């Protein structure tokens, strides 16, 4: 699929476009490559790993009027499961490159990571990418700039586990007894990252009990 060169100047693509072209590029002979890529990307979205990348959100949901809306991955979980979701999810270039690093896969050949990203969100969302379904995507309002380093996969996973424990969605016993394979799948990270995050949370909780 040589059409990928046409995406070189784009700062965002729909998930459907990424599935079709990047999936083929990753595994040209695998007919299921696109669906596999879509599944993993959606896992990262609902687990909040694309909520914040660089100076803004890593993905947007396109509304019926062609307006991109920024919401958290957890709030987008139900939408992401829809049959046409891939056409209405727009993923930013920075989020794709970060996803490729975390998953240890080759990034899209048409995108080369820059040393720094100083372009404003309005400039990144220039409206040149074909919109989901019909119409074009209008620029969203520029959100406040976020300071500080982008969280790593490990810190993001630790934060997710801590939140799950504090909210009661997961108990310490369940976290401790879960297999590394199941934990890695649930958090959409590698087994090594899942193991380190669990060890950090268990140690943190044990320290908190001692301090009480």
Q: What confidence tens digit (pLDDT) does each residue in 112-157 have? A: 654 334 343 334 444 444 444 434 444 455 555 555 555 578 888 8
* Percent over 90 (pLDDT), the chain: 12
* Percent over 70 (pLDDT), the chain: 77
Mean pLDDT rounded to a whole number for the chain: 78
C-alpha 33/C-alpha 86 separation (Å) is 15
Residue 92 pLDDT grade (very low, low, confident, very high; cuts 50, 70, 90): very high
- The reply to whether the predicted model has a pTM over 0.85 is no
Residue for token pair 């695998």: 30
C-alpha 202/C-alpha 200 separation (Å) is 6
Q: Is pLDDT above 60 for 197? A: yes
C-alpha 163/C-alpha 157 separation (Å) is 10
Q: Is pLDDT above 90 for 91? A: yes
DSSP state of 6: G
Among 25-29, 81-85, 119-123, 200-204, the least confident range: 119-123
Residue 187 pLDDT grade (very low, low, confident, very high; cuts 50, 70, 90): confident
Cα angle for residues 150, 93, 157 (degrees, 5° grid): 35
The tokens for 193 are 């990252």
- Closest-CA residue to 99 (of 144, 68, 143, 53): 53
- Closest-CA residue to 54 (of 100, 106, 9, 98): 98
Residue 24 pLDDT grade (very low, low, confident, very high; cuts 50, 70, 90): confident
């Amino acid at each position: 699929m040589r059409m990928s060169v046409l995406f070189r100047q784009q700062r965002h693509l729909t998930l459907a476009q990424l599935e079709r072209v990047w999936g083929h590029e990753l595994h040209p002979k695998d007919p299921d490559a696109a669906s596999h890529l879509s599944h993993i990307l959606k896992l990262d979205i609902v687990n909040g790993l694309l909520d914040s990348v660089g100076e803004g959100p890593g993905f947007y949901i396109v509304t019926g009027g062609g307006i991109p809306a920024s919401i958290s991955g957890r709030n987008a979980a139900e939408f992401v499961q829809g049959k046409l979701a891939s056409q209405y999810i727009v993923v930013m270039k920075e989020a794709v490159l970060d996803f490729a690093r975390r998953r240890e896969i080759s990034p899209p050949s048409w995108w080369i990571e820059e040393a720094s990203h100083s372009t404003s969100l309005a400039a990144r969302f220039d409206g040149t990418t074909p919109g989901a379904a019909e119409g074009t995507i209008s620029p969203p309002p520029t959100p406040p700039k976020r300071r500080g380093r982008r969280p790593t996969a490990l810190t993001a996973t630790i934060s997710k586990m801590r939140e799950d424990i504090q909210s009661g969605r997961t108990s310490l016993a369940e976290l401790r007894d879960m297999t590394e394979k199941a934990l890695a799948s649930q958090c959409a990270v590698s087994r090594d990252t899942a193991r380190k995050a669990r060890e950090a949370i268990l140690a943190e909780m044990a320290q908190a009990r001692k301090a009480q």
